[in-house]
Every structure is written in structure tokens, then in C-alpha cells.
Structure 1
């Protein structure tokens, strides 16, 4: 049990968060087959969800469930150990080979989560004496991983290659440029072609976390590197997650033979954790095949995003410059974002309010996300509900 002094200090901090409209609360969400793929029952209320990362609508696809259940019945529910002990199954191995082929890299290595993949990758490759230039809006896992590596970390202005180049100045044993491919809270894309050219000029390593791009952008959904016209050789490593567009769970790092073998030897978040269930790998193999083959999912996303942006502009809503399924609607304050989310929830629409420190101070927003499971009528319903919230317009009251 915490000491009375610690308990009192923690309680004061929780109260401060509450008063600043920054307190986070969980909702309990459930899905069942009688619902549409884009619907959930949230705290007992049936809602149309506009805050999931299930961009391709695969999370509730029965073909994935059949692959998962079938393999679990045949081979069991768990892996039993880490990959380097007894946990690396034929399904894991086949999925790694298919992910490598999908991304175009020689090898891929599975991790349990995206956070663990970034920690394992950067802490294995970077060290004291190295320099890491990070986009200011990178995911928290990239920032944490760079700091834990022991390297000197310099953050550059968002999506600004010139600023990144200035951050590479100074002596260093090795230099790294680290960026998201698609930024999770803004939905915009990194200038990867310019960053790759910058990496070549400075003999730097380019690391791209494409958690929100893989499956969604580029030919066959092969991600942000492919969408930017880059080859795998233009990046040192690519990180991808499996719990977003692919609808399952887990993550991977794709890279050269040498990079992947280095991770096998040095990535502590890979070596010292239990491997994901093999049945999950079987479901992900099915998802990967569907994501590549069913282009209509990406086509529908583009249609939905275009419809939403046109409607939002007509209503005078403030949007970030994004052409991806992540469409932030900016609010005047954290309180305005909270109240807008509550009004939408009361109307049966679930949209998450995003507040500092997840986003910079003064940039609270509703993070609207679209899925191939949505219909155009769903977009129109959301726009009609947003039209009734004055606080989301410039100068609107909270």
C-alpha cells in the first residue's frame, strides 16, 4: 500500500487533472454479430463508432475469426514462451515471411506491441554517442525509445526537413532520423522523400513507424514508403502494427538481414517476453491477404474522407490538413472537446476527445476516424451532429 504522503500527493495530481479537463476515463465497449461492423455497445448505449483504428473494417470480419478459432482449436491458445525459447511457431514464421514480402524488406520480426517494437528497435540500434533527430509530433513510443537508448535526442519542427537537417549538426558516431509515416493525432503524412534524401546526404539511418499507414496508403496498402515512391533500401527499418488496419494485434519491424539479426540478439522487448498466440498470427495472415486483395476497402475510405472534408468545410469546421482516415476536428479548448464528445455520444456517435499531453497545449480536438465499415450515410449523420455544436467553430463558446 502507498504511504499516506504518496497517496495524498497522487490525489492532488488527480484533482488537478480533473480541474484542467485533462482527466482520462475509460468506457466499456462491446461488439456482437447482430451489430454492424462500425457499431459498438458503449457503456450500455448502441453507438456508431468514429474513433477506432480499424481502418479497413477487418477487426470483425468473420474470416479472421474463423482463422483465429480454427488454429486455436487445432494448436492451443498460447505460445507458452518467448520466441527464442519454445514460442516461435510455424504460423509466426510464415507471418514474418509474408510481412517481409508485403513491405519489400528482406526480413521481418514480430513483436507483441508497437510500443515494444519501437523500444526494441531503437534501443538495439542507437547508443551513447549517437544522435537521434525526432519529429516533434512522433508517437510517444518513439520518443521514449530514443531517450532510453542513451543517444542524444533532438526534436525538430513537425514535418520540416530543413529543421531536421539543422538537428543533425554536431559530432556523433551515428545519426538517425526517426518519424511516423502517418501521424496518429493529425493524420498528415511525413515528407518521407525529403527525409530519405536528407538521410543519404548525412549518412543517417531513416526509421519510419508506419502504424497508421500500412494497409491504408500506397499500392496494395504497402504503406507510406511506397506511397512516397521510395524503395525499402531508402529506410533502415520500418515499424508496423497489426491492430489497426489489419484488425488483429501485435507489431513487427522490417529491415535488412543484419538489422533483424541484431534485434534477435539485442532487442530486450523481443527477447524477454512471451510470443503472441500462434492463432493470432494465423488470423493476421488472413487479414494481410485480404488487405492486399480487397482494394475496395481503400477506395471506400477515400470516398468517405472526401465526403467528410467537403461537408466539414461547408459547415465551417476546422480540420487538419489530412487525406487519411484520421480527420481531427479542432476545438477551442479541452473543455469544448469534452463537451462536444458528450453531445455526440448522447446522439449515438462515439468520437474520442484528444487533449494535452497527447497533443500540444492549445490543440485539443475530436479525433474522427473512418473505416471501410462506414457508409456514406454515416458520414452525413456525423456531419449533421457536428453542425449543432457551436464550440467547434472558430470563435465558438466552450
Structure 2
């Protein structure tokens, strides 16, 4: 019988402690989340600045709905590209000092579209319309050098191309240089170095300026996925690129998302005019998808301009990060066995590494029993043996919320010891 292996694979994943299940949220307000009728203090949201519930964002979305309707109605290349999209793209390009920007429905789509468009090549794209025998003779080339902890959306996209994917040790510049040098001696194909600005599971940052220098030295482009830097870094909240004053020459490709600190949804790629024009023609996730709702673009632009004008939420987030790390270190620290470690992160992402899926699930359940919502993060989202609780802090958390969190972690650890 077709696909009769499905249940066996699910059973195998459950036995390994890696089976995933969804939960249904009834509502969330003021960091209180309701799931299956129970209420929890939420420390699992990527809404780092609390902009999802900001009155101005909500009102802008309503005004966008009144002007443009509920959706865009078509692909961007048909009638789906509106003045709302154009205004948002222009704001991003101008703020990041890039020639142009392009909107996507998600960061996942943006990363995949970029990989598939660049590493099939304009000179090779027509292979899709040729006979198999003709297409077989077309050479696809390119080299991708990705940080070991690069997001799955990019890695999946890279593996779907004919490019050679090489992964360097996390933030290891010497390893990256060594890989690039080996390729330099064998071919002169297109080379793309890829990293995240702020890493989604560890919360640490990439050494972007040094990485940009290495990429230039080896005639490679550097791409930064700044999903978790957008909104919280830089004078105007435009992320790692703005914070480190990196030019288009330093970082030819910037990808960022709006579904985290910005509080809406969607993503963008920014770079040269040639890059964006190329993606408009060859990025299938853009060409063949209905454009994001214009009202969403209106709300996103409001959120970005508000973040740029008022740093109070960013300041509050930074204060909360410092307070949590101080309280955790004073009350808990690393446990006696050395297998509970608070990662070295200064971002809103504060992972506690516990080392096994069973222990991560047990600790998560113990926290739920105490009114705290922090799901366990397990393989394959993170490497085996690095299972964790991924705590995310928000500007809207109070010091009392953080005190409750740290007390709950201490009690939960005792209960599962």
C-alpha cells in the first residue's frame, strides 16, 4: 500500500523523543497566553518589542484594509504590487543604503527563492522549458559556504540547487577562510558566504565585519539572514547591517523578516538594483505567489517608522535581558552536573541547554505546571545533544514576570532532578 511507512516513521520519532505536536492558542494578551483553556506567562514569542499589539500597528492595518481590501488579489507581476508595497520597499532600501529591496511572503520563501534563483543562473533558467536531453547538458555551478547553524529555510533551499554546499563551524572565521582557499585553487565559480545576523536558536551574533573582509578577499558575496536582528538592532531598528554600518559592497545580500520584532509578517531581500531586477524575473517564490496583503505592508511600514522614532521599547528589552541574566546567574547558574547551561547571549533569545530531549520535555512540562510557557526545542531544530528551552524576552515583560520565571525554573529543576 502506498505510503504505508508513515506511521512507522512517526512511531520512530516518538521513541527518540523528537515527535512534534501542535497546540491551539485561544488568545494572547499582555504576555498571557491561553492554550487548551489554561493560562500561562508566555516566554516563547518572537514578538521582542510587543509591536503585534501596538495600537498604531493595528490602526494602520485597519486603514490599509479600508484602502486596499483583505488581500492583494494577484501576483506582484500581475496586479498585486501596490503603492503600499512600493513604499515599504523604498523605506527598507533607503534605510539600509541599498539600491533596492523586494518583498516576500515569508523569510522561508525569501531564502529559498534566493538560493534557487542564483544557483540555477539566468543563463540556465530556460532549462526548465527544454527537453530532458537538452536540459541535461546545461551546467549548474556555484559554491555556498554556510554557517553550521544557518536556518533550515536556507539550507533546504541550497540543497535543492546544483551548487556545492559547504558548512563552516559556527562563527569560525579560520574554518571559513580555509574552505574558501581550497575552492580558490580549484575553480572560479560564483561563491556565496551565508550567515545569520543574530542566530535564532543560540541568540549570539556573527562577526559580520570580519566575515565581509574574508568574503571580499576570496571574491565571494556575503549574505546575512537578519530575521532576529530586524527591529531590535541599529539606531533605527534596521538590524545588524545598520548597527555595524555595513555597506552594499560589504554585504551584497540582506534578508530580513517582519514577523518577529516588527510584529507583522513577511520578509524582504535588499541589495543592488541588478540583484532585485534579477529576482523579479527569476525568483519563482516571488513570480508565482500572490503578493502579501497591502494592508500588511501599511502596518509594517508604520511599525518600522515607530521603532525608528521611539527607542523606549528597545531600551526596555535590553534592560530585561540584563535583568534576566543577572537573576538567573545569582539564583541558578549552571547546575551541579554541568548539563544545564545558559548560553552566552545578549539578545532577546536566552537558551538554556539541557542536553537531552527527555530532559528538555520534562523541564518544559514542569514549567507549564507552574504557569510558564516555554516549549522544548529538540533535534532536528538544534543539533543532537543540544536540546534546550529557548526563552525569549520581550520589552513588555516586567521585572516581576522575570522574577516569576527564574523562581519557576529553579523549582522545576528540583522537581526533575
Same fold at TM > 0.5: yes
Decide which of 330, 333, 352 is 1:316's aligned counterpart: 333
TM superposition shift of 1:380 = 0.8
Q: How does 1:269-288 map to 2 (within 5 A)?
A: 269-288=285-304
Alpha-carbon contact 1:129-1:172 (below 8 Å) kept: no
> Which residue number corresponds to residue 300 of structure 1?
316
> Which residue number corresponds to residue 125 of structure 2?
none
- Give the secondary-structure state (helix, strand or coil) at the position aligned to 1:179: strand
User: Matched residues in 2 for 1:76 and 1:221: separation?
Assistant: 29
TM superposition shift of 1:391 = 7.0
> Which residue number corresponds to residue 112 of structure 1?
105
Decide which of 14, 18, 23 is 1:22's aligned counterpart: 18
**1:132 to 2:161 alignment:** no
User: Matched residues in 2 for 1:335 and 1:290: separation?
Assistant: 42
- Give the secondary-structure state (helix, strand or coil) at the position aligned to 1:219: coil
- Unpaired segments ≥5 residues, structure 1: none
User: Matched residues in 2 for 1:136 and 1:16: separation?
Assistant: 26
C-alpha RMSD of the superposition = 1.5
User: Matched residues in 2 for 1:135 and 1:391: separation?
Assistant: 36
User: Matched residues in 1 for 2:40 and 2:387: separation?
Assistant: 23
- Give the secondary-structure state (helix, strand or coil) at the position aligned to 2:195: strand
> Which residue number corresponds to residue 78 of structure 1?
71
TM superposition shift of 1:347 = 1.6
Alpha-carbon contact 1:114-1:252 (below 8 Å) kept: yes
- Give the secondary-structure state (helix, strand or coil) at the position aligned to 1:367: strand
Aligned residues: 387
> Which residue number corresponds to residue 228 of structure 1?
244
Alpha-carbon contact 2:367-2:412 (below 8 Å) kept: no
User: Matched residues in 1 for 2:177 and 2:357: separation?
Assistant: 34
> Which residue number corresponds to residue 13 of structure 1?
9
Q: How does 1:163-242 map to 2 (within 5 A)?
A: 163-168=175-180, 169-170=182-183, 171-242=187-258
TM superposition shift of 1:375 = 1.0
Runs of 4+ in 1 over 4 A off after TM superposition: none
**1:159 to 2:175 alignment:** no
TM-score under structure 2 length normalisation: 0.90
Decide which of 361, 375, 389 is 1:352's aligned counterpart: 375
User: Matched residues in 1 for 2:369 and 2:269: separation?
Assistant: 41
Alpha-carbon contact 2:237-2:304 (below 8 Å) kept: no
**1:47 to 2:47 alignment:** no
- Give the secondary-structure state (helix, strand or coil) at the position aligned to 2:201: coil
- Give the secondary-structure state (helix, strand or coil) at the position aligned to 2:249: helix
> Which residue number corresponds to residue 329 of structure 1?
352
